[in-house]
Amino acid sequence: MKNPVFTGAGVAIITPMYEDGSINFDELGRIVEDQIARGTDAIVICGTTGECSTMTDEEQLAAIKYTVDLVNHRVPVIAGAGSNDTDHGCALAAKSAACGADALLLVTPYYNKTSQAGLVAHFTAMAEAGGIPVILYNVPSRTGLNIAPETARELSKHPLINGIKEASGNIGQVAKIAALCGDELNIYSGNDDQVVPLLSLGGKGVISVVSNVKPELVHNCCKAWFDGDTAKARELQLEMLPLCDALFCEVNPIPVKYAMNVLGWEAGECRLPLVEPGDAHKEQIEQALQAAGLIKE
């Protein structure tokens, strides 16, 4: 049995930026402190939501080190360190581990993709290079590549491969992963609108975008489930849906960064090729924030 890196709601945190596009570390620190104060169970830095795909390695490692040092073991810090180039991924994994991260989040290789056997070789090499627990990240809508349940089972045999962030949206696939892997692979929802369904299959939590704007809601949803109050968990999951719809009305992290700016954070703009949301989507985001009680009249 592998103990989960965390249970509950881990925030896939944004990376705030100045007007010139450089990382605003002061604001990142303020956001991290606010997240911890409001119940977030883990910080996931430099994931998709953190715009790691447009960061240099130096920027990515600086953001990871800054976050690790600031958090100082209060909650786990999980570092995005994936790549579609295994050698590059191994180097990032080793350097992220050296920054003090508690675990690594490793996405499937994108664009060049690979076979299922290639996935086993790719993730095994990066896990061993990092030497710390690994959460696999399955998001076929972005990468064009799916981790098959049988491949997840094979990977779960590795002592360092601890979990999987499942963002396929396929509940049947998640059920098969749970059946095949049991306690050898901790499952986290990669979709905010499917937290409770995945918890019902034995999941350990969620890596959440919604947590950026309302961490207590996502934390409490998970806590209610683990406390045995399934009705409350279901109620909070349904309460989350308008925020889920709004924060995914355009490709992540466009909407959530706009939302954080609306809420008074100095999130800045996304780096190109991502641009700010259209006017109709801005209105949808603002209405969802208001309905969630986050914008005061």
Catalytic residues: 137, 165
Q: What is the CA radius of gyration of the chain?
A: 18
* Per-position DSSP letters for 107-169, written without gaps between them: EPP-SS---HHHHHHHHHHHHHHH-S-EEEEE-HHHHS----HHHHHHHHTSTTEEEEEE-S-
Q: Give φ, ψ of 145 to 5 degrees.
A: -140, 130
Q: How far apart are the first and last CA of the chain?
A: 49
**How far is residue 91's CA from residue 106's CA, in Å, rounded to a whole number?**
13
**How far is residue 151's CA from residue 160's CA, in Å, rounded to a whole number?**
15
